[in-house]
Chain A
Amino acid sequence: MLLPSCLVLSSSGIHPFRGVHQVTAFTPLVSYAGGMLIGLAAVLLMLFWGRIAGMTGILAGILPPFGSDVRWKASFLAGAILAPLLYQLAIAKVDYQMPISSTELIVGGVVTGIGVTFGSGCTSGHGVCGLARFSRRSAVAVIMFMSFAFLTVFVTRHIV
């Protein structure tokens, strides 16, 4: 229902150039390899510590009120932040482009924080760890956040 009416809107010339954004290169192999590293980290954390590599829980764990897990969570985060820093210093510059304004970024950040807290997880917790252990709860979460992300980008880039 929504889709056809939007297409009519944009083809009628109200937003003729809306949606033309900086193109990023299609990188299937590098992205697949990077994904394997994320999966490997999830497996290793389960193997050594018996925990889900969910970034929402890990980040929440280093915020007050601190639980008993604060130390491993802080260690994991430190590694996750320092590795890209060292990689960029020692090996190669990493592609990073920010196509949106600070205001959009702040709104996106706050909304994301609220959503992952109520939804008990994000792309790493539900998307990787949850799906990998065939959790129905996580499958529902993934379907919801992927659908709404597609819908939101369609609205922000092609309608509003």
Chain B
Amino acid sequence: MRYIVVGLIGAIFGLGIITSGMGNPAKVLNFFDLAGSFDPSLAFVMAGALTVAVPGYAFIFRKLRKPVFTSDFNVPTNRKIDRKLVIGSSIFGIGWGIGGFCPGASLPALGLGHLSSYIFVLALVTGIILAQLIQKTKALDIFSRALRRIPLNGDAGELQDRA
């Protein structure tokens, strides 16, 4: 029963993605193409989502002590703005600009049955697994330690001190 409700919530999410146009790479890439075939629609998607989510979350966190099906609200507690967040998000932006899909849009798009969305999701999963392997092997730590040996001046040096 609980899982059916979650499935239905997923269904609302999926319908939102495809009706909004987030699941259409041509529309996404046109949103980012300010200097070309610009289509501002996706700004309205974000506006629509926040119109509901901001008051919805505020109500839940203020008025409710626990969720309906589980024992506690589980929201991210990490507040650190670190290099990993900044660089990771930047890399995601580059990927989004190349592929035209964000993860949340590519999965509902699978339901539309186009081969290209399956190709994207396979590549996406490959990227996620690759990044998890890199994290596990601590390859990044070794890399950044090596980087720190290179004398840097200005902003880059400051960034490294903070990390």
- On whether the beta carbons of B122 and A109 are closer than 8 Å, the reply is yes
Q: Which A residues lie within 8 Å of B130 (CB)?
A: 110, 113-114
Cβ-closest chain B residue relative to A131: B50
B23-48 interface (Cβ within 8 A of A): 23-27, 29-30, 32-37, 39-42, 44-48
What total of A-B pairs shows CB separation below 8 Å? 512
- On whether the beta carbons of A43 and B52 are closer than 8 Å, the reply is yes
Size of the A side of the interface (Cβ < 8 Å), in residues, is 114
- Pick from B4, B75, B87, B123: contact of A106, CB under 8 Å: B123
- On whether the beta carbons of A35 and B109 are closer than 8 Å, the reply is no
* CB of A14 to closest CB in B, whole Å: 15
- Pick from B5, B81, B94: contact of A152, CB under 8 Å: B94
* CB of B157 to closest CB in A, whole Å: 20
* CB of A51 to closest CB in B, whole Å: 6
B-contact bits for A107-148, CB 8 A (1 contact / 0 none): 111111111111110111111111111011100111011111
B63-78 interface (Cβ within 8 A of A): 64, 66-76, 78
A-contact bits for B112-125, CB 8 A (1 contact / 0 none): 11101101111111
Cβ-closest chain A residue relative to B26: A97
Q: How large is the interface on B (under 10, 10 to 19, 20 to 34, 35 or more residues)?
A: 35 or more
* CB of A25 to closest CB in B, whole Å: 7
B111-163 interface (Cβ within 8 A of A): 111-114, 116-117, 119-132, 134-135
- On whether the beta carbons of A117 and B131 are closer than 8 Å, the reply is yes
Give the distance in Å from the alpha carbon of A120 to the alpha carbon of B53 in the complex: 20
Give the distance in Å from the alpha carbon of A84 to the alpha carbon of B117 in the complex: 13
- On whether the beta carbons of A84 and B108 are closer than 8 Å, the reply is yes
Give the distance in Å from the alpha carbon of A130 to the alpha carbon of B57 in the complex: 10
Give the distance in Å from the alpha carbon of A82 to the alpha carbon of B93 in the complex: 27
A41-99 interface (Cβ within 8 A of B): 41-56, 59-60, 63, 71-72, 75-88, 94-99
Give the distance in Å from the alpha carbon of A40 to the alpha carbon of B19 in the complex: 14
Q: Which A residues lie within 8 Å of B60 (CB)?
A: 43, 46-47
| Residues of chain B at the chain A interface (Cβ within 8 Å) | 2-27, 29-30, 32-37, 39-42, 44-54, 56-57, 60-61, 64, 66-76, 78-81, 84-114, 116-117, 119-132, 134-135
| Residues of chain A at the chain B interface (Cβ within 8 Å) | 19-56, 59-60, 63, 71-72, 75-88, 94-100, 102, 104-120, 122-133, 135-137, 140-142, 144-154, 156-158
Return the 7 tightest CB-CB contacts between A and B, nearest first. Answer: A113-B127, A108-B99, A35-B48, A34-B20, A109-B123, A152-B97, A148-B93
A-B contact pairs, 13 of them (CB 8 A): A20-B36, A21-B36, A23-B37, A24-B27, A31-B21, A55-B103, A79-B8, A87-B15, A107-B95, A109-B123, A110-B123, A120-B88, A149-B93
